[in-house]
Amino acid sequence: QVQLVESGGRLVQAGDSLRLSCAASGVSLSTSGMGWFRQAPGKEREFVAAISWSGTTKVYADSVKGRFFILRDAAENTVFLQMNILKPEDTGVYYCTFRPWGNGDARAEDYDFWGQGTQVTVSS
């Protein structure tokens, strides 16, 4: 049974850093492309970052490029989202997702399974 459990979200101030974690079970990160998406209140879910199954390709939304970094620990079967210089517009529920043999896909419809999400709130 596939399970993705996100954690690490909390209330922070603008300019702070935060690391989100996504612990995967029932699926191997070594054969899975992983993605992070977020959804703000009243808005559609949007792409944040993705990493390919090989770990060699990383893709970022323009709004987070240079501030956010997607990392993975294959041994722990966990993917991380390191978020730096946070802004109020980064506020939202952050979701982890996977796709078998994914190559850094940026469309939500390309992914097969989603976690429950973790709330990130950035105050100004």
pLDDT classification of 1: cutoffs 50, 70, 90: confident
Residues 96/35, Cβ–Cβ less than 8 Å: yes
The token pair that represents 29 in the structure block = 């990160």
Q: What is the pLDDT of residues 68-124, one digit of tens each?
A: 999 999 889 999 999 999 999 999 999 999 999 999 999 999 998 999 999 999 999
**Amino acid making up residue 82:** Q
The tokens describing 22, both together, are 């996504």
pLDDT of residue 104: 94
How far is it, in rounded angstroms, from Cα 98 to Cα 90? 21
**Residues 23 and 12 sit within 8 Å (Cβ to Cβ):** no
pLDDT band of residue 63 (cuts 50, 70, 90) is very high
Pairing of strands 92-100, 32-39: antiparallel
d(CA 51, CA 69): 10
The pLDDT of residue 72? 95
Q: What is the pLDDT of residues 7-54, one digit of tens each?
A: 999 999 999 999 999 999 999 988 999 999 999 999 999 999 999 999
CB atoms within 10 A of CB 30: 12
